[in-house]
Structure 1
Amino acid sequence: MVTHEHVRNIFAGPSKGDMASFWSHVEPNVDWTVKGTHCKVSGRYRSIEEFQQGTRALSSTWAGPLHLVIQNVIIEGNQAAVELKAVNTQTKSGDPFPNEYTWVLGFNDNGKIATVRAYMDTDLVTRVIEKNPQ
């Protein structure tokens, strides 16, 4: 069973800009869907590598590391809905990146993230990508 403590531990690193620590909690063949219809990074990814490549149009816009801070966690069985906010993150053009997310995480029996449905401000993401091309 997933706990609040487990979820908060997963995001301890990302809150400090250490996304590398997050990936150790994710199955290599994660099924990750970024919701949205007109956003360049929206789509379904079936591995960590595919997700990282598919979202590079966004991650390449940041001037430094992304800092994701938990705002709220709701748990039901082996799933957790995690509200996140990007803080202390700027784009290469110098603009703040105050995106807010909700990630619905599905955990396997080993406590690793096996599925993600990610919701975010796709309008902000689209504008940031357009202003900071790769």
Structure 2
Amino acid sequence: MFVSMLRPNLFRPRFLSTAATKTPAFILTRDHILRAFAPLAETKDAAIRERFFTDSIVPDVTWTITGSAHSLAGTRRSLEAHSAASFNKLGQKLRGPIAFTVTRVIVDAEPGPDGWWACVETRGEATRSTGEPYNNEYVWLTRWNAAGKMDEVRSYFDTMLSEEVLRGPGG
């Protein structure tokens, strides 16, 4: 008490301006990401699976498949372009869609100047048209906008396995 009488402002909490401490309208959480990715586990009902793409990704997403020494590598600036260059291409060599299971989610503690970032690790399982399994592991570095949708994805996975499937028989 004596100290506070001598220097009354010393122990008083200081707050940043209200503009700096304004709570964002959208806060990215692990649960939000798990709900967003849940439709990718569906392989029988296309309408359920499609919700991942319509509800969780902006149509003009920037989607990069990293690397340079494989046919899927590149940056596409729309969901349509990415699907044509990757999902559809690989899908021609599979008996059905890849069932994705989220195995780990890491979310930034706060948004950066360009939005929220999260790292989503998944396991993807499908059957090749030859009957062999296609089991791959993925890490998607994802940026989320203020509406809670992904507007950028950087994808990392076993590209050697994907190339083996793409060059193999079937489809």
* Same structural fold, with TM-score higher than 0.5 when normalized by the shorter chain: yes
CA distance in 2, matches of 1:114, 1:101: 18
Contact 2:60 2:151 in 1 (8 A): yes
Q: Aligned-pair distance for 1:20? A: 1.1
Number of aligned residues? 133
Q: Classify the secondary structure of the residue corresponding to 1:98.
A: strand
2:78 matched residue in structure 1: 47
CA distance in 2, matches of 1:73, 1:132: 35
Match of 1:74 among 106, 120, 125: 106
Q: Aligned-pair distance for 1:31? A: 0.3
- TM-score normalised to the size of structure 2? 0.74
CA distance in 2, matches of 1:126, 1:95: 15
1:21 matched residue in structure 2: 51
CA RMSD of aligned residues (A): 1.3
Contact 2:120 2:142 in 1 (8 A): yes
Q: Classify the secondary structure of the residue corresponding to 2:38.
A: coil
- TM-score normalised to the size of structure 1? 0.94
Q: Which runs of 4+ in 1 moved over 3 A?
A: none
CA distance in 2, matches of 1:3, 1:23: 19
Q: Classify the secondary structure of the residue corresponding to 2:41.
A: helix
Q: Aligned-pair distance for 1:131? A: 0.5
**CA gap 1:48/1:73 in 2 versus in 1, 3 angstroms:** same
Q: Classify the secondary structure of the residue corresponding to 1:2.
A: coil
Letter in 2 for 1:20: E
CA distance in 2, matches of 1:93, 1:36: 27
**CA gap 1:45/1:132 in 2 versus in 1, 3 angstroms:** farther
2:122 matched residue in structure 1: 84
Q: Specify which structure has the bigger relative contact order, considering alpha-carbon pairs within 8 angstroms and separated by 6 or more residues.
A: 1
Q: Aligned-pair distance for 1:133? A: 5.7
CA distance in 2, matches of 1:85, 1:116: 17
Larger radius of gyration: 2
CA distance in 1, matches of 2:117, 2:131: 36
CA distance in 1, matches of 2:102, 2:42: 11
The share of aligned pairs that are identical, in percent, is 29
Letter in 2 for 1:30: V
Q: Classify the secondary structure of the residue corresponding to 2:135.
A: coil
Unaligned runs of 5+ in 2: 1-26
